[in-house]
């Protein structure tokens, strides 16, 4: 439990700020998560599991939040509802659990009355007219969930991350997806219709523990098969890797011009 008692209003604002930082100021996405967490989830837990909580913010134990998330995934009716909702209840609870964890370790500030921003002062995402803007506006997802049947070394990767990463980097290259080290373009080189590329975790997935937030733009990068192997090989493998800048410095092969 937290060392200090906060009002629901303070926790709501803190959760909002926490999500805004992780979703790059995407107010629409954050508001959907907040609405689901504050309005839908308490009623769902009360109706299906007999709880009597008035607010999601009564749950300040990360393990308790995770237990409810697992119960929803296992429930014969709720698991079907969860799969069809956007945002998914289990995904919202996952973000809330990460927030509670940060709250309990005092790694995030909780606003006090007088620090709240007025609605018109909230950050508004910049909109571009670039026709190659990514379709997937959300860049940060959670990844690494243990599905309960296998060891944590085989945790599930989030395929939405790969899709979001490709959308983002495609936009940077005028609609094409290329290796961010050497510029190799599989579709152009082999005359194929699909956008084959490998997506590299800048911070090795094997070095993470449990579900954790991953930014599809900042934490991932598309690489060709050769460069992907070398970014790990240069540090001896075993899940280790060098930085993209270091890989570019040692690269001595052909660099492709995709202009």
The confidence band for 157, taking pLDDT boundaries of 50, 70 and 90, is: low
The confidence band for 63, taking pLDDT boundaries of 50, 70 and 90, is: very high
CA-nearest of 202, 193, 220 to 134 is 220
The confidence band for 132, taking pLDDT boundaries of 50, 70 and 90, is: very low
Q: What is the pTM of this model?
A: 0.49
Phi and psi at residue 212, to the nearest 5°: -155, 155
Lowest mean pLDDT among 104-118, 120-134, 144-158: 120-134
10-46 per-position pLDDT tens digit = 999 999 999 988 888 888 889 999 999 999 999 999 9
Tell me the mean pLDDT in the region 247-253. Answer: 89
195-235 per-position pLDDT tens digit = 788 888 887 655 555 667 888 888 889 999 889 888 888 66
Taking the C-alpha atoms of residue 148 and residue 64, their distance in angstroms, rounded to an integer, is 17
Helix/strand number for the chain, H first, E second? 10, 4
Own/partner contacts of 12-17, CB < 8 Å, gap of 24 or more, are 12/38, 12/57, 13/110, 13/111, 13/116, 14/99, 14/103, 14/108, 14/109, 14/110, 14/111, 15/57, 15/96, 15/99, 17/108, 17/109, 17/111
Tell me the mean pLDDT in the region 2-17. Answer: 82
Q: What is the per-residue pLDDT for 92? A: 93
Tell me the mean pLDDT in the region 117-121. Answer: 42
Taking the C-alpha atoms of residue 73 and residue 174, their distance in angstroms, rounded to an integer, is 40
Taking the C-alpha atoms of residue 38 and residue 36, their distance in angstroms, rounded to an integer, is 6
233-245 per-position pLDDT tens digit = 866 555 578 899 9
Note if the bond before 112 is cis, omega within 30 degrees: no
Tell me the mean pLDDT in the region 51-75. Answer: 93
Looking at the predicted structure, is the pLDDT value of residue 128 above 90?
Answer: no
């Amino acid at each position: 439990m937290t060392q200090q008692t906060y009002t629901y209003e303070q926790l709501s604002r803190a959760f909002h700020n926490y999500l805004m930082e992780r979703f790059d100021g995407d107010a629409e996405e954050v508001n959907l998560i907040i609405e689901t967490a504050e309005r839908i989830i308490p009623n769902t837990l009360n109706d299906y599991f007999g709880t009597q909580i008035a607010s999601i913010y009564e749950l300040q134990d990360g393990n308790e939040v995770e237990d409810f998330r697992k119960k929803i995934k296992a429930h014969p009716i709720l698991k079907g509802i969860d799969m069809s909702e956007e945002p998914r209840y289990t995904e919202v609870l996952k973000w809330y659990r990460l927030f509670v964890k940060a709250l309990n370790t005092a790694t995030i500030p909780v606003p006090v009355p007088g620090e709240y921003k007025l609605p018109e002062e909230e950050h508004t995402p910049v909109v571009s007219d670039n026709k190659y803007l990514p379709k997937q506006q959300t860049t940060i997802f959670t990844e690494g969930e243990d599905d309960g049947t296998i060891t944590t070394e085989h945790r599930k990767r989030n395929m939405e991350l790969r899709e979001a990463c490709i959308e983002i980097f495609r936009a940077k290259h005028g609609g094409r997806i290329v290796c961010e080290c050497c510029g190799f373009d599989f579709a152009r080189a082999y005359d194929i219709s699909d956008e084959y590329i490998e997506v590299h975790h800048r911070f090795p997935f094997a070095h993470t523990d449990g579900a954790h937030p991953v930014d599809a733009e900042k934490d991932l990068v598309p690489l060709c098969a050769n460069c992907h192997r070398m970014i790990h090989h240069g540090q001896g493998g075993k899940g280790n890797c060098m930085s993209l800048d270091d890989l570019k410095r040692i690269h001595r092969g052909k660099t492709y011009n995709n202009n």
